[in-house]
Amino acid sequence: MGDVMQNHPAATAARKSRTLRAQAAAGARIAQLLLGFACAFLFWYLTVDVWQLPRFANLPGPSEVFSEWFSPDPIYGLSFYTPDYYWHILHSLARVGVAFVLATLLGVPLGLLMGWSQRVREYVFPLFELLRPIPPLAWVPLAILMFHGTETPVIFLTFLAAFFATALNSMLGARSIDPSLIRAARCLGAGEWRLFSRIVVPGALPQVFSGLQISLGVAWFSLVAAEMVSGEYGLGYLINTGYSMATYPTIFIGMITLGVVGYLTSVVIRLIEHALLRWGNDEQGGRS
Amino acid sequence: MTPHANTHPGAIGRWRTLPSAGRRAAVSLIVMLLAWELIAHSPRLFGFEVPYLGVLPAPSAVIGEWVMLLGDAHYWGSWYLSFTRVFAGFISALLLGVPLGLWFAISPTMRNLFFPVFEMLRPVPPIAWVPAAIIFWPTQELSIISVIFLGAFYTITLNTYNGGRRVDLAIIQSARSMGASRSNIFRRIVLPGTLPSIVAGAAIGMGITWEVVVAAELISGGNGGGGGGLGLFMWDAYLAGNHEQILVGMLSIGLAGYFSSGLLRRFGGLLTPWLSRN
Amino acid sequence: MKRAAPTSIGHLKIEDAVKVYRSRNVETLAVDHCSLDIQPGEICMIVGPSGCGKTTLLNAVAGFHGLTSGRITLDGELLCGPGKPMAEPGPDRVVVFQNGALFPWMTVLDNVTFGPLSQKTMTTSEAREKARELLADAGLAGMEHRYPEQLSSGVRRRVEIARAMMNDPAVLLLDEPYRALDSLTRAMMHEALLEMHARRPVTILFITHDLEEAVFLGHRIVVMSARPCRPTLQMEIDIPHPRDYSITTSDAYRGYVESALDAVHLEAQKSFAANEAEARP
């Protein structure tokens, strides 16, 4: 019935004019977006390079940062053309990757179990709530004492931050499932395992993924802080040494790179989510 | 329909009538503390050190150290310093983030122009701003506060924005049909409608500020700077090899974060009495 | 249209059911000495104001919670009663829920075959074949690979009934399944349900607060009192099945609706007053 209506000539014309209007609106939005970025860069350029306002003048301007970044022969030794740059990115990525995968492998099952079984929740959740208010970074001294070397403490701190966010959101996800669905499955004769694997897991998945997004964000947060305190290589280390060696443009290169890489990793998670959750709208909401 | 024969409300009886949640929480806490105590004394009791967890001081020793520190002015000074920083950064984030979030929510132009810029800056973790902040601000104190500000700012702005956009259009239309002016709609409809989201964002932001303050204090400590605060208290304990004080520092930071978030939620509850709580 | 022989299974008997909710120190009587005897193949409509405890009764039959006292039997077998505090949920008593409970992450076909595949009573291909038949009977051919999200709410309800019927249940428990639908769709649902019942006369326990729905569908309607829930009026609807919407203009139909209306209206007023009293501190 609906198809017939949609193929009516008047409907087609209306749809065409609607798409035209939508395209115009999108064009205006892109123009405004570019204008917004232009304003931001202009602000940076004017305050630092042109007017040289007090305090702002200490910072490197956009021209300095970008000419350094794209220079084959950088003054401070780091640009797109130096292998060191990619070495730092790779180190940070590998650390986040290991910590994130570990946190997901441990946090998602634990969280789902806590959400599913009242007994598990009542035993484990209090300990969880006791440890959670302690910020992951407050574990720094203990992590250094507990794990030898520089690599393990950094990964441990990153893992810890990601783990709590993942487990908590997985638990909330399992508890947010409409009880009617669980009752319906019981009516239809589903046993415990089938109930868990076919109802609880897919039902919790949207919130598990919003938990993973949060977890990834806090993983980068902790990683950078941990790399700044201890570590060789990595973007946090790069930013911190940029400060101590007074190579200021490098700090900004590191920050921008961090933003881009962090954003790209979250896009990867979102792509996986879309591939897995084809069945529904992605209504999201998570807690960290 | 006969009620239970509940005649002996002795200690065991009362334990049994506790809800299972409370009983199990107590069991797991006690088990954890006992295990931790045993692990700490393992070299003496069993003749070997438990890997990794062996460096933890015994909970009894930590409590002893904590009790001793209660009379210590330096310890409370650290609390005070961290609290003032969190407070300053948090309040400034609230003062700037809420108006900005509301502006994003009600003005499409503002949203289209600057929301993408805002979104682009957001993936840079606040801690990464520490060196830039130190270069920019004249004092270390200001630079730490500015980084704390950033930590809470994104969350508060984003929550305010989302809350503002979610205000029910039907409510705005009904207010308009009753003849409310634009400013009236903003003050009486949009602002209270957004308030729950602002409170939620502020509570999350408060949690982040405690993470940031610890990190900032640690980094300034790691870079040889002073400045005090609970983060540095812990770092000094680490340098001095005082494991008990490290734990006291960690627990203090956890407590501080927990209480400031709780306080904020309580205060937020007073501001939004129309929300039902259970 | 093939017509199944009238079955003798599905004799649901509720005897003297009482349900008391305890929270802290407050006891609330939700169901008060309620007895019902539903014959195999009967459509029994339970009518009562919202929140009167009808659902509590249905949940006790389904096995979602127990009774404080009383017993429920299905074809002579004890579901819940002395010595058995709670019935086990099972495919002989499938519930169709108020807001719909299709699994959003499964296609229509996976939803419909979920029951037999869970109970391992059929192989996947057998289940698929039967599901296709059932869906085709319900006029839903071609929908097999859609997700519930992509269906209209009326189609979703029909799929849910088909999912329930896949298990050849003895009793179908319907908890205001058409509540959220508009009246036109609802009328179509009613006819579809009766059509299904004509093909396969399963016992139906149907909860509603809509009198016209009750009179149109039911062999019998039972009007419940508000808080606690207790039958106050039972009425046989003596209009021959299969019915269609032409009967709604008949005098007999209007007569039944009117006489039930008085009873329900009185209960609705009582329930409203009770709610008001509760809301006041």
- Out of B25, B52, B219, closest to residue A228 by CB: B219
CB neighbours (10 Å) of residue C258? 11
How far apart CA B24 and CA A124 sit, in angstroms, is 9
Is the Cβ pair A229, B219 closer than 8 Å?
yes
SS (H, E, C) chain C: CCCCCCCCCCCEEEEEEEEEEEECCEEEEEEEEEEEEECCCCEEEEECCCCCCHHHHHHHHHCCCCCCEEEEEECCEEEEECCECCCCCCCCEEEECCCCCCCCCCCHHHHHHHHHHHHCCCCHHHHHHHHHHHHHHCCCCCCCCCCHHHCCHHHHHHHHHHHHHCCCCCEEEEECCCCCCCHHHHHHHHHHHHHHHHHCCCEEEEEECCHHHHHHHCCEEEEECCCCECEEEEEECCCCCCCCHHHHHCHHHHHHHHHHHHHHHHHHHHHHHHHHHHHCC
Q: Interface of chain A against chain C, CB under 8 Å?
A: 178, 180-181, 183-191, 194, 198-199, 202-203, 205, 277-281
Residue B62 lies in a domain: no
Looking at chain A, the domain(s) classified CATH 1.10.3720.10 span: 83-276
Is the Cβ pair A191, C90 closer than 8 Å?
no
Whether residues B23 and B85 fall in one domain: no
Predicted pLDDT of residue A164 = 93
How far does C149 lie from chain A, in Å, by closest CA?
A: 6
Split into its structural domains, chain B has a count of: 2
How far apart CA A102 and CA A113 sit, in angstroms, is 17
Segment B163-173 mean pLDDT: 87
How far apart CA C123 and CA C79 sit, in angstroms, is 29
**Tokens (6 digits) for A106:** 């441990």
How far apart CA B137 and CA C256 sit, in angstroms, is 83
Provide CB contacts within 8 A for A219, sequence distance 6+.
Answer: A96, A99, A100, A103, A158, A159, A161, A162
Pairs across A and B, CB distance < 8 A: 179
Q: Which of A205, A225, A230, A213 is nearest to A103 (CA)?
A: A213
| Rounded (5°) CA angle C226-C231-C233 | 105
Task: Give the mutation candidate from C94, C98, C118 for the A interface (greatest A CB count, under 10 A).
Answer: C118
How far does C209 lie from chain B, in Å, by closest CA?
A: 28
Whether residues B115 and B7 fall in one domain: no
Long-range contacts of A31-34 (CB under 8 A, 24+ apart): A32/B109, A32/B112, A32/B113, A33/B112, A33/B113, A33/B116
Q: Which helix (H) or strand (E) holds B28?
A: helix B20-45
Predicted pLDDT of residue B17 = 63
Whether residues C226 and C272 fall in one domain: yes
ipTM of the shown complex: 0.85
Segment A150-160 mean pLDDT: 92
Segment A81-92 mean pLDDT: 93
Residue B278 lies in a domain: no
Q: Work out the mean pLDDT of chain B and round it to a whole number.
A: 86
Is the Cβ pair C118, A183 closer than 8 Å?
no
Residue B61 lies in a domain: no
Predicted pLDDT of residue B4 = 40
Task: Give the mutation candidate from A53, A120, A228 for the B interface (greatest B CB count, under 10 A).
Answer: A228
Task: Give the mutation candidate from A181, A183, A188 for the C interface (greatest C CB count, under 10 A).
Answer: A188
Residue B140 lies in a domain: yes
Whether residues C73 and C186 fall in one domain: yes
How far apart CA A153 and CA A161 sit, in angstroms, is 13
**C39-55 core/surface letters (b: 16 or more CB in 10 A; e: else):** ebbbbbbbbbbeebbbb
Question: Is residue B250 scored above 50 in pLDDT?
Answer: yes
CA neighbours closer than 13 Å in the CB half-sphere of residue B92: 15
Whether residues B19 and B105 fall in one domain: no
Whether residues C117 and C199 fall in one domain: no
User: What's the pTM?
Assistant: 0.85
Question: Is residue A285 scored above 60 in pLDDT?
Answer: no
User: Which residues from chain A sit within 8 angstroms of residue C164, using beta carbons?
Assistant: 187
Q: Which residues of chain C have pLDDT under 70?
A: 1-7, 51-52, 278-281
Beta strands at C69-74 and C12-23: parallel, antiparallel or unpaired: antiparallel
Pairs across B and C, CB distance < 8 A: 4
**Tokens (6 digits) for C94:** 């499938």
Question: Is residue B57 scored above 80 in pLDDT?
Answer: yes
Whether residues B142 and B264 fall in one domain: yes
Residue C180 lies in a domain: yes
Whether residues C205 and C254 fall in one domain: yes
Residue C4 lies in a domain: no
Is the Cβ pair B131, A58 closer than 8 Å?
no
Task: Assign A11 a pLDDT band (cuts: 50, 70, 90).
Answer: low
Q: Work out the mean pLDDT of chain A and round it to a whole number.
A: 87
Pair B141, B86: CB distance under 8 Å = no
Predicted pLDDT of residue A235 = 93
What is the topology classification, in CATH, of domain A83-276? MetI-like fold (1.10.3720)
The residue type at B186: F
Segment B233-245 mean pLDDT: 90
- On whether any CB of chain B is under 8 Å from the CB of C18, the answer is yes
Whether residues C148 and C196 fall in one domain: no
The residue type at B162: N
Segment B2-9 mean pLDDT: 40
CB neighbours (10 Å) of residue A16? 10
Is the Cβ pair A188, C167 closer than 8 Å?
yes
Is the Cβ pair B131, A138 closer than 8 Å?
no
Q: A190: nearest CA in chain C?
A: C118
Predicted pLDDT of residue C103 = 93
Segment B121-130 mean pLDDT: 90
The residue type at B278: N
User: Which residues from chain C sit within 8 angstroms of residue B1, using beta carbons?
Assistant: 18, 20, 68-69
How far apart CA C9 and CA C168 sit, in angstroms, is 11
Q: B250: nearest CA in chain A?
A: A138
Q: Three-state DSSP class for B169?
A: helix
* B38: containing domain: 1-46
Quote the radius of gyration of chain B (alpha carbons, Å).
25
Residue B60 lies in a domain: no
User: Which residues from chain C sit within 8 angstroms of residue A281, using beta carbons?
Assistant: 149
Whether residues C147 and C222 fall in one domain: no
Pair B73, B79: CB distance under 8 Å = no
Whether residues C202 and C246 fall in one domain: yes
User: Which residues from chain B sit within 8 angstroms of residue A136, using beta carbons?
Assistant: 211
How far does B1 lie from chain C, in Å, by closest CA?
A: 7
Residue C7 lies in a domain: no
How far apart CA C214 and CA C209 sit, in angstroms, is 8
Whether residues C24 and C130 fall in one domain: no
Identify the chains in contact with B, defined as 3+ C-beta pairs within 8 A. Answer: A, C
The residue type at B177: S
CB neighbours (10 Å) of residue A149? 9
Q: C33: nearest CA in chain B?
A: B1
- On whether any CB of chain B is under 8 Å from the CB of C153, the answer is no
Predicted pLDDT of residue B212 = 92
- Out of B24, B113, B128, closest to residue A123 by CB: B24
* C178: containing domain: 12-92+170-279
User: Which residues from chain A sit within 8 angstroms of residue B265, using beta carbons?
Assistant: none
Identify the chains in contact with A, defined as 3+ C-beta pairs within 8 A. Answer: B, C
Predicted pLDDT of residue C111 = 94
Whether residues B112 and B23 fall in one domain: no
How far apart CA B6 and CA B106 sit, in angstroms, is 60
User: Which residues from chain A sit within 8 angstroms of residue B241, using beta carbons?
Assistant: none
How far does B168 lie from chain C, in Å, by closest CA?
A: 21
Q: C102: nearest CA in chain A?
A: A181
Split into its structural domains, chain C has a count of: 2
**Digit-coded pLDDT (tens) for A212-263:** 999 999 999 999 999 988 778 899 999 999 888 888 899 999 999 999 999 9
- Out of B113, B131, B257, closest to residue A240 by CB: B131
Question: Is residue A184 scored above 90 in pLDDT?
Answer: yes
Considering only A40-49, B89-98, C224-233, which range has the smallest mean pLDDT? C224-233
Residue B276 lies in a domain: no
**Please, which residues bridge with residue C220 across strands?**
C44, C236
Residue C38 lies in a domain: yes
Is the Cβ pair A188, C98 closer than 8 Å?
no
How far does A190 lie from chain B, in Å, by closest CA?
A: 27
CA neighbours closer than 13 Å in the CB half-sphere of residue A37: 10
Whether residues B2 and B114 fall in one domain: no
Predicted pLDDT of residue B277 = 57
- On whether any CB of chain B is under 8 Å from the CB of C68, the answer is yes
Query: What is the share, in percent, of chain A residues with pLDDT greater than 90?
Result: 51
Q: Which of A123, A222, A108 is nearest to A174 (CA)?
A: A108
How far does A104 lie from chain C, in Å, by closest CA?
A: 22
Task: Give the mutation candidate from B1, B2, B17, B18 for the C interface (greatest C CB count, under 10 A).
Answer: B1
**Tokens (6 digits) for C227:** 């808080």
Identify the chains in contact with C, defined as 3+ C-beta pairs within 8 A. Answer: A, B
Whether residues C269 and C137 fall in one domain: no
SS (H, E, C) chain A: CHHHHHHCHHHHHHHHHHHHHHHHHHHHHHHHHHHHHHHHHHHHHHHHHHCCCCCHHHCCCHHHHHHHHCCCCCCCCCCCCCHHHHHHHHHHHHHHHHHHHHHHHHHHHHHHHHHHCHHHHHHHHHHHHHHCCCCHHHHHHHHHHHCCCCHHHHHHHHHHHHHHHHHHHHHHHHHCCCHHHHHHHHHCCCCHHHHHHHHHHHHHHHHHHHHHHHHHHHHHHHHHHHHHHCCCCCHHHHHHHHHHCCCHHHHHHHHHHHHHHHHHHHHHHHHHHHHHCCCCCCCCCCCC
How far apart CA C225 and CA C68 sit, in angstroms, is 19
End-to-end distance of chain C based on CA atoms, in angstroms? 59
Segment A185-201 mean pLDDT: 92
- Whether residue C242 is preceded by a cis peptide bond, meaning omega within 30 degrees of 0, is yes
Whether residues C268 and C155 fall in one domain: no
Whether residues B33 and B71 fall in one domain: no
CA of B230: how far to CAs of A142, B76, B253, C162, C245, in Å?
Answer: 15, 9, 7, 63, 76
- Out of A178, A183, A280, closest to residue C149 by CB: A280
B87 by Cβ neighbours in 10 Å (0-12 / 13-18 / 19+) ranks as: middle
Predicted pLDDT of residue B167 = 87
DSSP character string of B118-148: HHHHTTS-GGGGHHHHHHHSSSHHHHHHHHH
Task: Assign A12 a pLDDT band (cuts: 50, 70, 90).
Answer: low
The residue type at A39: C
Question: Is residue B49 scored above 90 in pLDDT?
Answer: no
In terms of pLDDT, which residue wins out, C281 or A160? Answer: A160
User: Which residues from chain C sit within 8 angstroms of residue A190, using beta carbons?
Assistant: 114, 118
Pairs across A and C, CB distance < 8 A: 70
Whether residues B101 and B166 fall in one domain: yes
Predicted pLDDT of residue A245 = 87
Considering only A118-122, A128-132, B236-240, C267-271, which range has the smallest mean pLDDT? C267-271
Whether residues C21 and C112 fall in one domain: no
Predicted pLDDT of residue B92 = 96
Is the Cβ pair B243, A33 closer than 8 Å?
no
Question: Is residue A9 scored above 80 in pLDDT?
Answer: no
Whether residues B5 and B129 fall in one domain: no
How far does A100 lie from chain C, in Å, by closest CA?
A: 26
- Out of A35, A141, A147, closest to residue B113 by CB: A35
Predicted pLDDT of residue B11 = 57
Whether residues C87 and C17 fall in one domain: yes
CATH of the domain at B112: 1.10.3720.10
Segment A68-93 mean pLDDT: 89
In terms of pLDDT, which residue wins out, A45 or C228? Answer: A45
Task: Assign B8 a pLDDT band (cuts: 50, 70, 90).
Answer: very low
How far does C17 lie from chain B, in Å, by closest CA?
A: 12
- Out of A59, A134, A225, closest to residue B135 by CB: A59
